[in-house]
Each structure stands twice: as structure tokens, then as C-alpha cells.
Amino acid sequence: MPNEPVILRPFERQWEAEDGVLLTGRGWDLKVPRGMPREPDWDDWDRMGVTVVKISGESHHSRDLKHPDFAPGQPVLLMPAPENEFDPDAIKVVSWDGTRQAGWVPRRDTPDVRRAFASGHPVYVMALFEWCRDDNRRTSVKLLVARDGAVDGLPELPEHPPLGTMPAPRVLDPPSTTRRVRSPGRQDS
């Protein structure tokens, strides 16, 4: 892992989709530390303790996806779903209070997400980026899964509970204390 953490910086972009609809993307962009390739590959991101996931299945959860609980910067829960008939290793993406589901971690990304939780480090998960149509309706979200100390510039986030030991969704309350994710050995200014 490099000496410097990945840095989050605000980002917004607009473009016209093929069907003529104006799309807006907003949230955070990741800036890699000095000494890393300008365009790191997925293994580089994994070594840095960062996993970025574009959720899937959001069209089946569009009503919940519109909720402010999935806006960039909001903490979200990742919950194993062994009852999923299509994939017993599936992971649901739900609001912090467990009452809304935005979609799923794509099957190709579940090993990276599980590896982050198996690292033994605290893990933080938040909505990183959103795409909205011209009517400001959120259509998709990217998540950031980050090990403690891997990212500088995160909003205050509660530590995510371990994947395999999550309490029932409606019983879980956000922790009463939150902390800023900082690089080990760095001082807050």
C-alpha cells in the first residue's frame, strides 16, 4: 500500500445520452497517490484498500434508489443474501437503517468486497457517485468500499459491521459515534 491515501474530490459532469436525455453524474472522484500509475488497474486499487462498485439490479429497486439514503456521501450496508436463488454469494446494497434496497453488488465484484472485509481492518462503505436523468431522478449509484486509512477526504461515516455477522436489518441502528477515516499516523488538522 502506498504511503499516501487515495484522495476524494468533488466531481460533477453532464452529458447527453444516445436517446437525447441529459444525464448528470455527481459525487466524488478518486485521485490516486503520487507514485501510483495515473490509471491504476483493479489490482492496484485492491492493494490501496479501495474497491469501487457500480451496483446492479437498480431498475428493480428504482423507488428505493431515489431515496436520499443513497445520495453520494451516505453510508450504506452490504448484506449477504444466501437466500438469493440466482447467486448464494450475492450481496444486497441497502440503506443504513436496512429499510430500503438499491440493488446488488455485481457477481464479478463480490470477491473484492468480501476480501476487503476479510482484511481485518475496519471497513467503510458509502454511496460514491450517482447518475441522474434530466428530471433529476437517480438511475444508478457507484459505491466506495474502503479499508480504514485508505482514503482521505471521506465524510463522517460509521464503521460497517462485519459482513458475516450483520444483525437483522430493521434492528440495526447507526453507531452513536462516527470518525473520519484517516491515514494511519496522520494528524487531523
Predicted confidence at residue 37, as pLDDT, reads 60
- What number is the average pLDDT over the span 95-120? 90
pLDDT digits (tens, 9 = 90+) for 41-97: 667 777 788 899 999 888 788 888 888 999 999 999 999 988 888 888 999 999 988
Phi-psi group of 40: left, alpha or beta (phi > 0 → left; psi -120 to 50 → alpha; rest → beta): beta
pTM above 0.75, yes or no: yes
Give the containing element (helix H, strand E) for 45: helix 42-48
Give the containing element (helix H, strand E) for 6: strand 6-16
Among 36-40, 42-46, 116-120, 174-178, which is the least confidently predicted range?
174-178
Predicted confidence at residue 145, as pLDDT, reads 94
Q: How far apart are CA 26 and CA 73, in angstroms?
A: 11
pLDDT digits (tens, 9 = 90+) for 3-25: 577 888 888 888 888 888 888 88
**Closest C-alpha among 71, 79, 93 to residue 138:** 71
Whether 127 and 71 have beta carbons less than 8 Å apart is answered as: yes
Determine the residue type at 122.
P
Among 28-42, 95-109, 119-133, which is the least confidently predicted range?
28-42
- Alpha carbon distances (Å) from 48 to 2, 10, 11, 112: 7, 20, 21, 12
CATH entry, 6-165, from 3.40.30.10, 3.30.70.2330, 3.40.50.720, 3.30.1330.10: 3.30.70.2330
Predicted confidence at residue 22, as pLDDT, reads 83
- Check pLDDT > 50 for residue 40: yes
pLDDT band at 136 (very low <50, low <70, confident <90, very high): confident
- Domain ranges for the chain, please list them: 6-165
pLDDT digits (tens, 9 = 90+) for 142-179: 999 998 888 888 788 888 988 865 544 444 445 444 44
